[in-house]
Structure 1
Amino acid sequence: MPLSIFGWQALWSPYLIGVIVFLTVVYFLITVKWRNDFKVNEPLKKSEAIFFLLAMVTLYIIKGSPIDLLSHILFTMHMVQMAFLLLLLPILLIKGIPWWVWRVVVNAPVVRTIFKIFTQPVVAAFGFAFMFSLYHLPAIFDTIKLDETFHGIFTFILFLSGFFMSWPLMNPVKDMPKMKSLYKIAYIISNAVLITPACALIIFAGQPLFATYYDGEAWLKAMELCVPLGTLSGLSLSGPELFFPGNMTTLGDQQTGGVLMKIIQEIIFGIILWKVFRQWWKDEHSTTEEEINEKALKDFQALKQSQQH
């Protein structure tokens, strides 16, 4: 059955387009036109603008395009959406917003305390793993999916936990303490390990876990979060299986979602790990070269002094 039956509004979320355009305009006003209002500022870098625009495009794709509608039909698409929302989008935002803007944000009175606590590496890593695992407990997951308010609040908290988890790796603020490259490598590996049990439970479950993806009545109620009620009431639907591709089953959809979440996480973390390792290698060899040059200079000066005597 085609997705077009849900209507253009459900497929393309025009309201989100307006929000993204507004955020983009505000971003360029702050970083270009109002830049000199900040005590410490720098010209906006091309790379920062590109990262921010990529963040906005990513946000629209995962929350405004048909992917968002599909995430309410296929658990596979839900997990793909979660992977990009929690693991990629925070990184793009951190790298896209100039460090001097982040400096003002993280030093704001209330925000300073929150950042100090929740961006501690141990707290950030375990906090994200806990929130992700909690979200995907069947009873909690189905409750959240059936209530628009709960869904919005919990998704935002989950996104914040992903943001705090990414901050120690990407922290761009120049006068804030930075995690050493070797510690970053251990931190990335720890995060990959901590999220594995939640994915494993989803992948190796012997039966469908989430009523909002296998129970027709619960599914229809969950669909109200992304489809206008008037449109939904005019359709005769029994359950999400009407939209499953090929011979996919509900259990197969659930298992595929768990596998894809883990694969996407490994790809994103693998790229970050490679960049961190390369920087660590560069720093180590750079330090060695400086030490060699310094030692050679001292030896030369000592030799020169001995010849003079």
Structure 2
Amino acid sequence: MNVETFLFLQEWNMQLLLILICCSIVYVILSWKKGNFFKSVLFFSSMLILYITIGSPLSALGHISFSTHMIQMSIVYFIIPPLLVRSFPKRSSSTKQFTAKPIRIMTMLALILFAVMFFLYHLPITLQYLAVTPTVRRSYQFLLFLLAVVMWWPIIASEAREYFNKQQKQRYTFISSMIIMPACLLFIIYALFDGASNPLASQAATQWCIPASTTQQNSLLPFSINTKLDQWLAGLSMLGIHKMSLHVSSRMDEKVNKSKSSPRSISL
């Protein structure tokens, strides 16, 4: 079975599509009076990328190899949440009921919890368990996504400056870059020791997305995958995408702040 045939046999996730459509309708209702075109583009872009990544037949490619899996995960947790957070409508002053300290504590806890859960997610023993418990796996992934949205809020949200000064935001960004690194290094360590089998190619894990008639992920590709190199690429890809997303998000927020401080700025 080749990749083209394999993708053709995959189904579109209509339940996810319905959920995303409902979320889009709610977003339009909440932001109708705001009329911010830039935020709307970011929101609908995040919905589209999310559906293509985990709801379309292309999502199956994320379980063919370590590297494609980590690219998929990086898109879901390191690219989509910043876009989504930046698209949130600005709250009115009457809804700002929380002080800065609880907000900072909550976001830091979300960052730590995400880093721990993300690291545990890619341990072979965890993958084996989640592969045979679809309900637990979906709940785990959904919680990871919610935590990702919260942990990106201080970095990219337009309102974060009300709770984080420049030094606190820089410190938070640095901690974020460091605390996610163990999950990236996990795959590089696998490659260095060359003693870990590919959990994504195991019989249990391939049940996530590969039909029962296809027992070997290598049969889907016209070339064999070097597991050691694939693990290197997986760790480096996730690390690079996370660093890039942090850099772009920080620069975007700084650019918006500068434009707002100028007399001829356009509100984003």
TM-score normalised over the length of structure 2: 0.81
The equivalent position to 1:100 in structure 2, one of 86, 91, 94, is 91
Change (3 A) 1:117 1:142: farther
Residue equivalent to 1:140: 126
Distance in 1 (CA, whole Å) between partners of 2:250 and 2:138 is: 32
The equivalent position to 2:169 in structure 1, one of 163, 167, 184, is 184
Contact 2:104/2:163 (CA < 8 Å) preserved in 1?
no
Residue equivalent to 2:142: 156
Structure 1, unaligned runs of 5 or more? 36-42, 287-309
Instruction: Give deviations 1:167-213, integer Å, cap 9, x for gaps.
Output: 12234448x94211222122112211111122112113123646542
Contact 1:75/1:257 (CA < 8 Å) preserved in 2?
yes
Contact 1:169/1:179 (CA < 8 Å) preserved in 2?
no
Distance in 2 (CA, whole Å) between partners of 1:102 and 1:212 is: 49
Residue equivalent to 1:72: 63
Residue equivalent to 1:255: 232
Does residue 62 of structure 1 match 2:53? yes
Distance in 2 (CA, whole Å) between partners of 1:246 and 1:103 is: 59
Residue equivalent to 1:129: 115
The equivalent position to 1:50 in structure 2, one of 41, 64, 73, is 41
Change (3 A) 1:135 1:183: same
Distance in 1 (CA, whole Å) between partners of 2:94 and 2:60 is: 37
Output the amino acid matched with 2:16: L
Deviation at 1:155, TM superposition (A): 0.3
What is the CA RMSD across the aligned residues, in angstroms?
3.3
Residue equivalent to 1:302: none
Output aligned runs, 1:206-221, within 5 Å: 206-207=193-194, 209=196, 212-215=199-202, 217-221=203-207
Contact 2:63/2:206 (CA < 8 Å) preserved in 1?
no
Contact 2:66/2:234 (CA < 8 Å) preserved in 1?
yes
Contact 1:192/1:266 (CA < 8 Å) preserved in 2?
yes
Contact 2:156/2:253 (CA < 8 Å) preserved in 1?
no
Identity of aligned residues (%): 25
- For these two proteins, the number of residue pairs brought into alignment is 258
TM-score normalised over the length of structure 1: 0.71
Deviation at 1:166, TM superposition (A): 0.7
Output aligned runs, 1:1-309, within 5 Å: 1-6=1-6, 8=8, 10-32=10-32, 43-100=34-91, 116=102, 120-173=106-159, 177-205=162-190, 206-207=193-194, 209=196, 212-215=199-202, 217-223=203-209, 232-233=211-212, 235=213, 237-244=214-221, 246-275=223-252
Output the amino acid matched with 1:268: S
Contact 1:126/1:194 (CA < 8 Å) preserved in 2?
yes
Distance in 1 (CA, whole Å) between partners of 2:242 and 2:194 is: 24
Match of 1:132, SS state, is: helix
- CA radius of gyration, larger in: 1
Instruction: Give deviations 1:74-107, integer Å, cap 9, x for gaps.
Output: 2212211111111221211222120238986x97
Deviation at 1:118, TM superposition (A): 7.9
Contact 1:67/1:77 (CA < 8 Å) preserved in 2?
no
Structure 2, unaligned runs of 5 or more? 263-268
Distance in 2 (CA, whole Å) between partners of 1:123 and 1:157 is: 14
Instruction: Give deviations 1:271-306, integer Å, cap 9, x for gaps.
Output: 1233456678x59x99xxxxxxxxxxxxxxxxxxxx
Contact 2:188/2:235 (CA < 8 Å) preserved in 1?
yes
Contact 2:46/2:80 (CA < 8 Å) preserved in 1?
yes
Output the amino acid matched with 1:58: I
